[in-house]
Structure 1
Amino acid sequence: ALQLGPRKKPRTTDPLVHHGRHFGRTIHALCNVNALITNGVIRMSERSEEPEEAFTAQERREHKVFTLLMRSVPGLEERIMTSDSEEEVHNIATMLQKGASSARSDDTKSLKSAIIDWLLPAGECLIPPIGRNIKIERGFHHERTGALLCPAGVDWSDQEIKQKLRSGELSVSGDQWPILLYSSYKYDDTNPWKGLLQSVILVKAYKHIFTSPSSVEREAKATRSGNARIHGMTSVTCASIVYAATQARFALSSSSVFSRTDTTTDSERFYNSLLEMLEDPDETVEVNALLTWWNRSVFPNYNTNSRPVSKDSALAKIKAKR
């Protein structure tokens, strides 16, 4: 009893789990990876000759996610396309799914406590206070979380509406986006793009997940090894913004378990409706401006390609001679 037992062998995690974590956070959080890969392989083999118009909008979106997944994991496409074993492909999908699910679970757990500190300006107290690890007091049951979760365009100060939201008589679907997404928590119904996905609480949630919890209250240093740095991430993606928004929204809710099929929080519809809007070609101008804003807010070393060359610099003189 006084002697050390045999040393435990260190457990090694399949690299695909590591890649799956990043895939879930930055490319797609709520997809069925096995179905995604199966359909992607079919499209690249049996349906490779079919024109783009032969596929539905949903199939095109799905294939885009599949393509991004293949690009994000070195050697994955070759490994899948040359595999003779359905079991191997299934195991690959299982590892990626495991990574995405575990990352989501880790982020849900850590944000549940952290988000309490972001509900009010520093120095102000929540009345009544909210337990850091208790969800039942949140959602529409609490004045502050209820105000943030209230759908944009709905008046939280209206006592009748507030009571209906609390009782469940007035249900909120996932595509009714909450005011917490908007800058200063203000919504302009004549310009619904104004301030969308630019709230302080969203930026804090994003930094907490991607650049490290300690970067939330101060600028992230390039040397800090958060999830973004670990995966070589130097700019935001639409999916990563939506992921942070989905996590923040859930953290404020009274639901205790994150579930795709939970009709109370309706997280899957919320996630998909936001992501589809950001990927809509008709919204390109607004989305590009939003991505630039996010990159400047989150990544201190981010530079846009559109920055003009400094006047009278050596580079300017070289360019002038071309």
Structure 2
Amino acid sequence: MTIQDATSSIPSKRSSSALSMAPRKKVSSSDPLVFHGRHFGRTVFALCNYPSLLTNGILRLEQMEDTPLEDFPAEEQREHRVFEQLLDSYPGLLERLKGGSEEEILHVGELVGKGAAGARGDDTKTLKSAILDWISPKGEAIQPPLHRNSKIDRGFNHELTGSLLCPAGLDWNDPQTKENLRSGEMLVCGDQWPIFLYAHHIYDPEDPWSSLLRSRLLTCAYKHVFTSPSSVDKEPKATRSGNARLHGMNSVTIASIAYIATQVRFALSSSSVFSRTDTTTDSETFYHSLLDLLEDPEESQEVDELLTWWNRQIFPASSAARRPISANSALSKIRQRRIALKRAAVLDNIHS
């Protein structure tokens, strides 16, 4: 991304970190940025103060004329990467920001934030009910019953949701552990990941990456949000395009996995309102802790394998989901033969 000359509209003072949720604020405009914000929040960065993100980003562009991004603190580097992704995903946005007043920059941020918050609220509402269908024992009803429109009996208050939310490494079947979690004597921080993140809810302390973020519950929720509710157990039947198709999305992003995991965790909890001040669910810490792992360059091999797995589940027809050619297939044999013929031809040329 090129850095243009700074204009007088650049704010003179950076606000607090943008990578945390902003206070609720009503924005009435129907600007296309609201629609864009819905997808950006789900797939790039969900819990974000967008007015601060833009204000800080524009100011930082000016500073980067003399100071490379690598010299900024790690938190500011991450924030600026999110800022750049927003600019790259919406043509003309940088020009709009640099040509506008400080009030215009804040207004644009509020529009994007309205979209992100609206999408998050819609997903929270629909997943609250849908998740009960996915956690119900096959062919049985949940006992005691869980209400679709109330969450007060979820979380550690219920045997089923409690077993799914139990931090990996703890034994939900241990009576003392269960009692400590239910009473609140044992506080669960956002970076203590629940067992439902793991396939078949099995955690291996010797290999904590094994099956992480590959549970059926997560893929059900992902399909519900991004492809369509009807695609959870079968091919999509909805007449309207799902969110992924509406936004031209054909591969899974790291942030979208973290977003869905955060939504599922909240849906299983007893908390009724998704709030930054809710220390019980600690959703911001949970979301950030997943991103910290998935964005760590040291974990790139595991993350690449994870993304390939996810793309096979959600976008099986996309290039990102393509499997390597089967070793004993006809196609593999044809290609092996072609390679052998080329090698033979090269050797003949050398010896002739």
TM-score (norm 1): 0.90
Question: What is residue 6 of structure 1 aligned with on the other side?
Answer: none
Q: Write the distance in 1 (CA, Å) between the matches of 2:271 and 2:243.
A: 26
**1:250–1:76: structure 2 CA closer, same or farther, 3 Å change rule?**
same
Deviations 1:189-233 (A, max 9, x none): 000000000000000011111101111111347986100000000
- Structure 2 residue runs of 5 or longer lacking an equivalent are 1-27, 346-352
Q: 1:261 aligns with which of 253, 277, 295?
A: 277
1:91-106 matches, cutoff 5 A: 91-106=107-122
The 2-side partners of 1:138 and 1:308 are apart by 45
Q: CA deviation at 1:39?
A: 1.1
**Deviation per CA, 1:239-292, whole angstroms, max 9, x where unpaired?**
000000000000000000001221000000000000111000000000000000
Corresponding position: 1:159 with 2:175? yes
Is the CA contact (8 Å cut-off) linking 2:230 and 2:238 kept in structure 1?
no
Whether 1:58 and 2:86 are equivalent positions in the alignment is: no
The alignment covers a number of residue pairs equal to 306
1:19 to 30, 36, 50: 36
The 3 A distance-change label for structure 1 pair 67 and 222 is farther
Distance, in Å, in 1 between the alignment partners of 2:234 and 2:240 is 12
Larger CA deviation: 218-227 vs 256-265: 218-227
Q: Is the 8 A contact 2:40 2:116 kept in 1?
A: yes
Q: Secondary structure at the match of 1:80?
A: helix
Whose Rg is larger?
2
Query: What are the residue-to-residue correspondences of 1:5-44 with 2, within 5 Å?
Result: 13-44=30-61
Q: How far, CA to CA, are the matches of 2:143 and 2:194 in structure 1?
A: 21
What do the CA deviations read for 1:63-91 (whole angstroms, capped 9, x no partner)?
A: 111111111112112211232x1111111
- Contact 1:295/1:302 (8 A) holds in 2: yes
Distance in 2, Cα, partners of 1:60 & 1:244: 24
SS of corresponding position for 1:45 = helix
- Distance in 1 of aligned mates of 2:56 and 2:118: 24
Counterpart Cα distance in 2 of 1:295 and 1:47: 36
Q: Is 1:107 equivalent to 2:120 in the alignment?
A: no
Q: Distance in 2 between matches of 1:15 and 1:53?
A: 33
Aligned to 2:226: 210
Higher relative contact order (CA 8 A, sep 6+): 1
Report the alpha carbon displacement of residue 44 of structure 1 after superposing the two structures with TM: 1.1
The residue aligned with 2:210 is 194
Indicate conservation of the 8 Å contact 1:140/1:146, yes or no. yes
Q: Work out whether residues 211 and 224 of structure 1, in 8 Å CA contact, stay in contact via their aligned partners in 2.
A: no
CA contact (8 A) 1:149 1:252 kept: yes
Instruction: Give me the whole-angstrom Cα distance separating, in 2, the residues matched to 1:237 and 1:163.
Output: 37
**Which amino acid in the other structure matches residue 248 of structure 2?**
G
After TM superposition, the structure 1 = structure 2 runs for residues 34-183 of structure 1, keeping only pairs within 5 Å, are 34-83=51-100, 85-183=101-199
* Contact 1:219–1:300 (CA under 8 A) maintained in structure 2: no
CA contact (8 A) 2:70 2:77 kept: no
Gaps of 5+ in 1: 1-10
Q: TM-score, normalised by structure 2?
A: 0.83
**Aligned-residue CA RMSD in angstroms?**
2.2
Structure 2 residue aligned with 1:4: none
Greater alpha carbon shift after TM alignment, 209-218 vs 220-229: 220-229
